[in-house]
Amino acid sequence: MGLLTFKRGIHPPHGKHFSESKSIESYLPTGDLVFPLSQHIGAPCEPLVKKGDRVLVGQKIGQATGFVSSPIHSSVSGTVKNVAPMLHSNGTKMMSIIVENDNLYEEAEFHPNKNFENLSKEQLLEIIKEAGIVGLGGACFPTHVKLSPAADCKIDSIIINAAECEPYLTCDHRLMLENSDEIVEGLNILLHMFPNTKIYVGIENNKNDAIDAMNKAVSGINNIEIVALKTKYPQGAEKQLIYAATKREVPSGKLPAHVGCIVQNIATVHAIRNAVVLGKPLTERVITVTGGSIKTPKNLRVKLGTSLKELVQACDGFIEEPAKIISGGPLMGTALFSLDIPAIKGSSGVLCLSQKEWDIAPESNCIRCGKCIDACPMFLIPSKLNSMVLKGDYDSFEANHGVDCIECGCCTFVCPAKRHLTQTCREGKRRVLSKKKK
């Protein structure tokens, strides 16, 4: 079979050479841990602890307040110093639980389920929900919700996003190389929950060693297939990945479940395995700390709540002052003005770009070259949507399917005029959705 892919998209420099050969290192925090009560799409958590309380590793400290929500667990043992607003990676202050680490790492009682075949789908969903698992690719949608499609949606395909198409990031790549057997345990849990499905694990062909490792790990399992994807951005976006693996197109306004598919990130599958087999909630994840300004780029297994400043220090600091620091990848990540923020469930990377890497020209007038149209994987006209938002014409923005924008950044990347196309589409979507809520 040839390499699978989708229509349009871009080929940015991948930048993965900094860290793709670096084995995962475990990092233990030295400072206080900060746990924002919203690390997911949906309703924020309510704190279950107060100042002065002692907590244990894996203890639930934030209770989900709705179906689309996800609990928060402590990643260390120690004492709650405060419950107060703290800086979040989105640039706002968010109510958070601050824990002083006692460095003992005493654990709460866990309940392993090594014979998960004896559990029902409903029991497994409850375990996944209580473990606080969300999509670890960055979207942070609660996993138990995604695994509970509407009754009229007949799921026959589960597609695992192992593309890691964002430049620079290598945390998923390393996870597949070093924890492939554990990932397969997670895949078998999904097959037990959805016995009439086939699983496709999509990996870009710039990770041939991961393709080989995963093929070896799934050998003999008939309904799991490792599919090689063409290296192209945004190959890991849900709709593009579904098309690449199954040639199905998700209609505008519909979800993957409407075409019989569920999409999960590869790291999320590993977290599902840990929650079920080990009984451990989501308290840590692998984060890539990289970029031209980092002295020693690394892939670190990090306790959630750890300061990003500590992670940079664990990589021997900067060799030059970064021109831009981004939480996540360069195309869909969030620019940071401070490293005094905690690692959260959606933190896939800390990207510190040098001046050479971030040599961005100022914005100028659109020259109507059409490059943004050729690049857009959603078949939109970004230059036109940009103009509508700047004019405040949000009705036209919606009528021209602006809400279908996946904010991948392809249009901005290829624009010779350096127009802020993705940013204006994001603003247009926000305005349209806000208006509908009123």
Residues comprising the binding site for [4Fe-4S] cluster?
Answer: 366, 369, 372, 376, 405, 408, 411, 415
User: What stretches of 46-179 show up as alpha helix (H) in DSSP?
Assistant: 121-130, 143-146, 171-178
Question: How far is 359 from 340, CA to CA, in rounded Å?
Answer: 25
For tokens 């004896």, the residue is 118
β-strands 324-327, 349-353 pairing: antiparallel
Helix, strand and coil in the chain, % to nearest 5: 30, 20, 50
DSSP single-letter state for residue 277 = I
- Cβ atoms of residues 342 and 304 within 8 Å: yes
254: left (phi over 0), alpha (psi -120 to 50) or beta: beta
Question: How far is 382 from 376, CA to CA, in rounded Å?
Answer: 8
Based on its alpha-carbon atoms, the radius of gyration of the chain, rounded to whole angstroms, reads 21
- Cβ atoms of residues 135 and 271 within 8 Å: no
Question: How far is 19 from 88, CA to CA, in rounded Å?
Answer: 26
Decide: helix, strand or coil at residue 147. coil
Annotated binding site: 366, 369, 372, 376, 405, 408, 411, 415
Q: What is the 3-state secondary structure (H, E, C) of 350-416?
A: EEEECCCCCCCCCCCCCCCCCHHHHHCCCCCCHHHHHHHHHCCCHHHHHHCCHHHCCCCCHHHHHCC
- Cβ atoms of residues 194 and 205 within 8 Å: no
97: left (phi over 0), alpha (psi -120 to 50) or beta: beta
